[in-house]
Chain A
């Protein structure tokens, strides 16, 4: 209750205070935010999305590479379809070493609860103390589950057919703890952290999702024959949680065998749960199998926040600003966002339009082997939306 009132208060105060004293409001919110976080964790109350006057506010982080142009297309499409979502744009500059930008973005996401982001580049030339911005965002907001649904799309020609795999990847620990040190010159130790609480949490999320989506089988991917304690703990936690879901079959597979099976017979997999690094590799393999990085959306869920982005988190610097990027992944991610905000009608409308456009081969962008441009695809989606009848702006 308190949480909701604070949220709406901040929503009301925001336009008044934002220009004049952003610092004070943010501190104010941070203090309240911390207090209300504690309260929230104790109860099972899920805070409602930031809504004011029936319109949602969603943070938009353009990122680098193709992120800004795709974010613009999303906004264009939403405006066209009269979706009641307003975007609060927060730019994050990846070339500076200070963490102010990303902290602002995190603050905005705490305020709004939901975000749509492009990938923020991690510059290799900056010193190792500079942490990956995307990683910082995920760990600070505790977005512990990365969900990627890889499905063969009807209009896209791939070597494998009938793929329908859901990948749930632990998003905050594992190899991505950014804990490294060089005690002896020339010898680097990287720490991979696996904890019982987080493994139980992700396993629980995986089984709950499997139950909710009517999935029959959950496969845990690991390398416990080598990393006995680490991945052994992960596997144990998955088995514990599996015992509470008797209707769902649980099995496990070593990561090397998994990748090999994925390239020969991907149809055998249903839902997969795994730690961070294996999740990275496996999700990229699956994205490649269904047609490439331009087609698969990804979602990062936490207890309180949700951030949507493309599944494979590519910056796409080499194709930036050339109107050749595939907007499908980002647009499908925005549909996931609408589903999360419970605007299901809009979500399905846009999704239907996207799928019908993808079936048209002449509109395929370069990554799918065609010659279409991004704007053509977006126009065609808007046409498809308009033809289905609901209220839209004039083109």
Chain B
């Protein structure tokens, strides 16, 4: 335990001196450390503390493409303004090159810091199929097995459905996203969807633990086991096994097509939903659409050791990039989730309250929720709210 924090703090001291040279050393150390950490994390005894030096946390920041860079700049602005003790280590990932060096640097940085905030990295369709999705690589290398999305109807936003409060827990590393495809016979492509017992048990366990923690009554597993009997059948079985250990929580299951239909007619019936990767993608986007759009919902990717925060629907937003019209709410709420993860609860709640108050002001809504406000106006208002609460802030 002491050894880990010692190495980590050492790497931070040496880093400014050695810069790039240290990368390999840290990676070697990092692997040994990770295996140490994994063994202890499984028993949940020794979760390593976040990278903290002098009371300030270091968090990796991956700007990504599209609206990522500008939104993350706003996050940094708000954090600096509210005197949040977080420093960002910016790592750029160029999506246009084929080499994996950039994303490996980013992964190393996250291993070093433990926490990251990222924008979406674009996956260019024009590149060869061997160029894997960078976001996917990041998730699988760091084993961020749980994607958690909390969809809540926000008070100031006008939507067709009201009182939605759904928590979606999606398996993040396997399923349809294994990137295993081959074309044995020309013109016939086989894509492999992998479901394993270990990962299914793990995600089901995470779902039920989270449900218990948050006081949720009901967990619904979403599947298509009538067609994919072995695959989704295994997933469902694992969920049932885990459910038997949580008698206070009701467990039921629903086929994905029926789920999406129920979501558009009566979304209030759902509480916590757990599902494999692809259904999670679709269902989370449906729910995001129901509560007001991609600009409002934050998402978090948790592993045993690392956590990466981003917008829930992972949009690059290329068409609205650099036009000052993107909705900063999702990214700012994601940064609040990150602060909660770093146990800086006061800062998290102050920023969150400011955001929710700003949401109530309709004239400030950005284009995606039907208003005409600009990103900078929204951020300015949020900062004003934070200041009005009386907490310590930088000069305005």
Residues of A within 8 A of B (CB): 122, 124, 128, 132, 135, 159-160, 175-176, 178, 180-182, 185-197, 223-230, 232-233, 255-257, 259-264, 277, 280-281, 283-285, 287-289, 292-293, 312, 314
Chain A residues near B123: list those with CB within 8 A. 225-226
By a CB distance below 8 angstroms, the chain A residues around B278 are 223, 277
Find out whether the CB atom of A195 lies under 8 angstroms from the CB atom of B227.
Answer: no
Question: Top 10 A-B pairs ranked by shortest CB distance?
Answer: A186-B197, A196-B187, A288-B264, A263-B289, A229-B181, A180-B230, A228-B129, A260-B289, A288-B261, A128-B229
Which stretch from B27-35, B188-196, B344-352 is at the chain A interface? B188-196
Q: Given A128-B230, A188-B234, A229-B183, A262–B256 Cβ distance below 8 Å?
A: no
Q: Which residue of A lies closest to B123 (CB)?
A: A225
Contact B289 A261 (CB under 8 A): yes
B104 at the A/B interface (Cβ < 8 Å)?
A: no
- Asked whether, in the complex, the Cβ of B191 is within 8 Å of the Cβ of A188, the reply is no
Indicate if B272 sits at the interface (CB-CB under 8 A): no
B179 contacts A226, C-beta separation under 8 Å: yes
Q: Per a CB cutoff under 8 Å, which of A190, A257, A264 touches B231?
A: A190
Closest-by-CB residue of B relative to A186 is B197
Across-interface contacts of B129 in A (CB, < 8 A): 228-229, 232
A188, A230, A259, A289: the one contacting B195 at CB < 8 Å is: A188
Is there a chain A Cβ closer than 8 Å to B10's Cβ?
no
Residue-wise, chain B 267-279 has the 8 Å CB interface mask toward A (1 for contact) of 0000000000010
B265 partner residues in chain A, CB cutoff 8 A: 288, 292
| Chain B residue, CB-CB nearest to A264 | B289
Interface contact B261-A224, CB-CB below 8 Å: no
Contact status A176-B227, CB under 8 Å:
yes
Question: Is A229 a contact of B230 with CB atoms below 8 Å?
Answer: no
Could you tell me the distance between the alpha carbons of A232 and B189 in the complex, rounded to whole angstroms? 10
A256 to B129, CA, bound (A): 20
Minimal Cβ-Cβ distance residue in A for B229: A128
Most chain B Cβ neighbours within 10 Å, of A182, A257, A281: A281
Interface size class of chain B, counting residues whose CB lies under 8 Å from the partner chain: 35 or more
B293 at the interface (CB under 8 A from A): yes
18 contacts across the A-B interface (CB closer than 8 A): A124-B225, A159-B161, A175-B228, A187-B194, A187-B197, A188-B194, A192-B176, A192-B192, A223-B176, A227-B181, A229-B129, A229-B181, A229-B183, A262-B289, A263-B290, A281-B256, A284-B260, A314-B258
Query: At the interface, yes or no: B85 with Cβ under 8 Å from chain A?
Result: no
Chain A residues near B227 (CB, 8 Å)? 122, 132, 135, 175-176, 178
Given known pairs A224-B125, A227-B181, A264-B293, the reply for A256 and B281 (CB within 8 Å) is yes
Question: B230 touching A289 by the CB < 8 A rule?
Answer: no
Q: How far is the CB of B160 from chain A (nearest CB, A)?
A: 4
- Nearest B residue to A230, CB-CB: B191
Task: Determine how close the nearest CB of chain A comes to the CB of B98; give it in whole angstroms.
Answer: 14
Of residues 95 through 152 on chain B, the ones whose CB sits less than 8 Å from some CB of chain A are 123, 125, 129, 133, 136
Query: Are B181 and A260 in contact, with the CB atoms below 8 A?
Result: no
CB < 8 Å: which of B181, B290, B315 contacts A228? B181
Determine which of B160, B189, B286 lies in contact with A260 in the assembled complex, contact meaning CB atoms within 8 Å: B286
* Known pairs A226-B133, A259-B282, A277-B224 / 20 extra A-B pairs, C-beta < 8 Å: A128-B229, A160-B160, A178-B229, A180-B228, A187-B194, A189-B193, A190-B228, A193-B188, A196-B187, A223-B176, A224-B125, A225-B123, A225-B125, A227-B181, A230-B181, A255-B281, A262-B286, A277-B278, A281-B260, A288-B264
A160 to chain B, nearest CB (A): 8
Whether A260 contacts B285 by the Cβ 8 Å rule is yes
In the docked arrangement, what's the CA distance between A284 and B191, Å? 24
Quick check: A256 and B195 within 8 Å, CB to CB? Answer: no
Determine whether the beta carbon of B226 is less than 8 Å from that of A229. no
Q: Are A195 and B261 in contact (CB under 8 A)?
A: no
Q: Give B168 Cβ to nearest chain A Cβ, in Å.
A: 12
- CB-CB under 8 A for A186 and B190, given A259-B282, A263-B290, A292-B265: no
Instruction: Report chain A residues within 8 Å CB of B230.
Output: 128, 180-182, 188, 190
